[in-house]
Amino acid sequence: MDFDELKNTWADMSSSLQKNENLDKEMILNITRRKTRNGLNGIAIAESIGILISLGAIIYILINFNKLSNWLDITGGAGTVLILTLSIYLGLKIVFSANGINVRDQAYSEVVSRFNQLKSILKAYKYISIAAYFTMPILLLPVVSQLWFGKSLLDDLSEYIEALVASLVILPIIWWLIFVMYKRQMRKISKAISKLGGK
């Protein structure tokens, strides 16, 4: 093999290596985009389920509102509807914000800006949900007791207090699990978006 043949073979191998390297970069970029989209979809789906549950609860309470017979039940029903309406509003903001991030077509700076906007909404939602988790049992327990069991908690305040104590033990655990899931998901998305910036 003479020098020119060796030079041509070397150039072909170098070109082939460059093509493979470009393909590898493109594959990594597509995988990263897919991971980001899957993470955002997970958040949007979880919030959509929460919105549907909240909407169902609101409809159920409003249809049966006439069965709420005393000040505790009526206050609980109205407060629950108000909190669930706020929850639906924030849930929709999260869904639209998550679905508004398009890692394939948007510029990296726009993706980062929209992701930061989603983080801000989730942060506000976190603080509101902390307050709601301590307020909801106080409002919801009388409504559930009256609508599902046909009994007023005003007749048995000790049962109301027991149920409140149980709720205040169980609900923070549920809230913490949801918070950890969202935090983990946001961390994964943030890492994937950072990788997109270094493409």
Q: How far apart are CA 63 and CA 76, in angstroms?
A: 15
189 in Cβ contact with 40 (< 8 Å): yes
pLDDT tens, position by position, 171-184: 888 888 888 988 89
Unique residue bearing structure tokens 């609101």:
58
**In the chain, pLDDT over 90 holds for what percent of residues?**
33
Selection from 35-39, 96-100, 177-181 with the highest mean pLDDT: 96-100
Q: Is the pLDDT of residue 23 over 80?
A: no
pLDDT band at 198 (very low <50, low <70, confident <90, very high): low
Q: What is the pLDDT of residue 48?
A: 95
- Give the pair of three-digit tokens for residue 122: 């989730």
Three-state secondary structure call for residue 165: helix
Radius of gyration, alpha carbons of the chain: 26
Q: What is the pLDDT of residue 128?
A: 87
pLDDT band at 163 (very low <50, low <70, confident <90, very high): confident
Q: For all residues of the chain together, what is the average pLDDT? A: 85
Q: Which residues contact 199 (CB under 8 A, 6 or more apart)?
A: 25, 29
175 in Cβ contact with 130 (< 8 Å): yes
Q: What is the pLDDT of residue 152?
A: 85
DSSP of 21-42: HHHHHHHHHHHHHHHHHHHHHH
Half-sphere exposure (CA, 13 Å, Cβ side) for 108? 11
In Å, what is the CA distance from 25 to each residue of 18, 21, 146? Answer: 11, 6, 61
pLDDT tens, position by position, 65-77: 999 989 999 999 9
Q: Is the pLDDT of residue 190 over 80?
A: yes
What are the helix (H) ranges across the chain? 3-63, 71-99, 108-149, 157-197
Q: What is the pLDDT of residue 84?
A: 94
Q: Is the pLDDT of residue 5 over 90?
A: no
Q: What is the pLDDT of residue 59?
A: 97
pLDDT band at 89 (very low <50, low <70, confident <90, very high): very high
Higher pLDDT, 4 or 190: 190
Q: What is the pLDDT of residue 3?
A: 61
* Residue whose C-alpha is closest to residue 83's, from 46, 57, 65, 60: 57
76 in Cβ contact with 68 (< 8 Å): yes
Amino acid letter, residue 67:
K
pLDDT band at 51 (very low <50, low <70, confident <90, very high): very high
Weakest-pLDDT range from 12-26, 55-69, 77-91: 12-26
In Å, what is the CA distance from 37 to each residue of 27, 97, 192? Answer: 15, 12, 10
Give CA angle at 83 (44, 175), nearest 5°.
Answer: 60
